């Protein structure tokens, strides 16, 4: 029988970091829908925010709250900021590199941040973090990895002691066959919902599977209509994922121009505001895009600071050292998700959620730039700490008679559950951004 102490579903920074922080005494399964490396975390360009010094706390707190329209969970924001320095130290210990100047960490600035507090590695910060965490993951002897294995449901039963439902495992689709995998604890780190959108900067296979499964099983969901549209994705007529042009480009001095070549917005306003202004300008000029210019920064600075963006734009025919590049808003991040407490606990016993699939309330109604990687790591560590201190007794895992018809045909996920919930909550958002989605 396939049984583990902990199952972690998803191999972005949340899932990877959680696995690394779990005790070596636990038998852990890390399961991912695609390859281990193929996550949204690996796409993160701008960086990871951190509290630089104690005096910055109030500013950082206010920046996060203001961007989130003051709908954030205050305690969650405090936890994230207060634990940020320890997370950075741990990432560096895991081998992650960040840019330095004179042997000191070098900080950059992005939209809606009051000061420079963002650490980065060139313009591929997420890729650097994910690669180094994976190297560490593969050295853990208590950890088992299954790639190209899709979770399609959770297994649950009734706890006699607590008189409530509890999660005791997952149902997976592996090679088009159903498999039951049992565990005392399941951690969902399945990512956002970008794959449901026609225009998204997310990986196309990441479609909110964990959230759809939660809705199906009556697990509490929060703020499902809080979806961030990023202002600057590279405009293209091709289908598939949109290439993100990091907010750090505007943070370093990039300009947004309308078809007349005029600046029309403060480029460092929060993402939702800039996206709306771009949409208005596109409508005003009946244009498919606006333009981003960083030519004035100089060729050397552009190639040194944004090598990946420079290369990607060049492949599309745009030399950003010499000309403007067409950009358009695209779905980027999901601030809602499975409702959790400060330790990642969902409304179902033994089921936890972390990263973009969860809703800690940190981001409120709109995420502040470079808080995503930080939030994922902070709350992944808190879940790991909770499980490390939790008494796990395999004899309590009651799996008798669980192989019933409820799971017999569970080989697909109904992602329309998410779409229907979003439409019900926010028809205006649905009509503007989602009605031409992929689903």
Residues 209, 350, single domain; the answer is yes
pLDDT in tens, 369-395: 999 999 999 999 999 999 999 977 654
Same domain, 176 and 239: no
CB 242 within 8 A of CB 330: yes
pLDDT at 110 (0 to 100): 86
pLDDT digit string (tens) for 210-224?
Answer: 999 999 999 999 999
| pTM greater than 0.85 | yes
The string of pLDDT tens digits covering residues 58-95 is 999 999 999 999 999 999 999 999 999 999 999 999 99
Separation in Å, CA 347 to CA 95, 165, 214, 240, 308: 36, 9, 10, 35, 41
> Is there a single domain that holds both residue 326 and residue 357?
no
Q: Are residues 339 and 315 in the same domain?
A: no
Same domain, 125 and 202: yes
| Helices of type H across 138-267 | 209-216, 247-251
What's 69's domain CATH number?
3.50.50.60
Instruction: Find out whether 49 and 118 touch, Cβ atoms under 8 Å.
Output: yes
Residues 156-192 have pLDDT tens digits of 997 666 668 899 999 999 888 889 999 999 999 999 9
Q: Are 7 and 170 in contact (CB under 8 A)?
A: yes
pLDDT at 433: 83
Indicate the residue among 299, 331, 363 that finishes a domain: 331
Give 279-283's long-range contacts (Cβ < 8 A, gap of 24+): 279/329, 279/432, 282/328
In a domain, 106, yes or no: yes
**Rounded distance, CA 188 to CA 7, Å?**
8
Co-location of 108 and 234 in the same domain: no
Whether 433 maps to a domain, the answer reads: no
How does residue 124 score in pLDDT terms, banded at 50, 70 and 90? Answer: very high
pLDDT at 411: 72
Residue 274's domain spans which residues? 230-331
Residue 407 lies in a domain: yes
Q: What is the pLDDT of residue 149?
A: 96
Judgement on whether residues 209 and 340 belong to the same structural domain of the protein: yes
Q: Is the pLDDT of residue 396 over 60?
A: no
Annotated active-site positions, please?
A: 271
3-state secondary structure of 155: strand
Residue 144 and residue 220 share a domain: yes
Closest alpha carbon to 232 in 216, 254, 214, 215: 254
Strands 325-334 and 358-359: unpaired
Residues 297, 154 share a domain:
no
Domain finish residue from 271, 300, 331? 331
Tally of domains within the chain: 2
> What is the predicted pLDDT for the residue at 403?
53
Same domain? For 162 and 234 the reply is no
User: Residue 319 is part of a domain; what is its CATH number?
Assistant: 3.90.700.10
- Taken as a whole, the chain contains a residue count of 439
Is residue 145 one of the residues assigned to a domain?
Answer: yes
Residue 431 lies in a domain: no
66: Cα within 13 Å, side-chain hemisphere: 14
CB 258 within 8 Å of CB 236: no
Are 391 and 345 within one domain? yes
| Residue 439 within a domain | no
Note whether residue 434 is domain-resident. Answer: no
What is the chain's percent helix, strand, coil content, to nearest 5?
Answer: 35, 20, 45
Q: Region 120-135: what's the mean pLDDT?
A: 95
- Asked whether residue 435 is domain-assigned, the answer is no
Same domain for 417 and 401: yes
Q: Which of 296, 331, 366 is the last residue of a domain?
A: 331
């Amino acid at each position: 029988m396939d049984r583990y102490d902990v199952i972690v579903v998803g191999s972005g920074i949340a899932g990877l970091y959680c696995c690394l922080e779990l005790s070596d005494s636990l038998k852990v399964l890390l399961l991912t829908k695609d390859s281990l490396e193929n996550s949204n975390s690996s796409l993160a360009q701008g960086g990871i925010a951190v509290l630089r010094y104690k005096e910055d706390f109030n500013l950082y707190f206010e920046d996060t709250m203001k961007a989130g329209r003051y709908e954030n969970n205050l305690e969650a924001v405090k936890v994230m900021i207060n634990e940020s320095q320890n997370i950075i130290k741990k990432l560096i210990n895991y081998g992650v590199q960040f840019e330095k100047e004179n042997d000191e960490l070098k900080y950059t600035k992005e939209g809606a941040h009051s000061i420079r507090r963002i650490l980065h590695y060139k313009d591929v910060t997420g890729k650097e973090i994910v690669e180094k965490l994976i190297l560490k993951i593969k050295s853990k002897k208590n950890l088992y990895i299954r790639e190209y294995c899709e979770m399609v449901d959770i297994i649950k039963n009734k706890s006699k002691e607590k008189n409530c439902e509890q999660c005791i495992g997952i149902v997976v689709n592996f090679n088009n066959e159903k498999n039951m995998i049992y565990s005392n604890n399941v951690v969902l780190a399945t990512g956002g919902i970008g794959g449901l959108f026609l225009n998204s900067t997310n990986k196309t296979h990441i479609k909110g599977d964990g959230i759809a499964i939660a809705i199906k099983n009556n697990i509490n969901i929060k703020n499902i209509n809080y979806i961030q549209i990023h202002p600057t994705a590279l405009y293209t007529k091709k289908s598939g994922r949109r290439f993100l042009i990091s907010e750090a480009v505007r943070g370093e001095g990039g300009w947004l121009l309308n078809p007349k070549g005029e600046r029309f917005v403060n480029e460092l306003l929060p993402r939702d505001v800039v996206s709306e202004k771009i949409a208005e300008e596109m409508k005003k000029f009946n244009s498919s895009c606006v333009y981003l210019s960083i030519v004035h920064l100089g060729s050397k600075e552009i190639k040194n600071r944004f090598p990946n963006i420079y290369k990607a734009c060049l492949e599309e025919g745009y030399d950003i050292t010499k000309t403007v590049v067409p950009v358009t808003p695209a779905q980027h991040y999901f601030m809602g998700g499975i409702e959790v407490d400060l330790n990642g606990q969902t409304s179902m016993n033994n089921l936890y959620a972390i990263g973009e699939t969860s809703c800690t309330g940190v981001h409120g109604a709109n995420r502040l730039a470079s808080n995503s990687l930080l939030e994922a790591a902070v709350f992944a560590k808190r879940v790991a700490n909770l499980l490390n201190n939790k008494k796990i007794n395999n004899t309590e895992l009651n799996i008798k008679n669980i192989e019933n018809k409820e799971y017999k045909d569970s080989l697909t996920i109904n992602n329309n559950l998410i779409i229907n919930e979003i439409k019900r909550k926010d028809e205006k958002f649905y009509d503007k951004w989602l009605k031409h989605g992929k689903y």
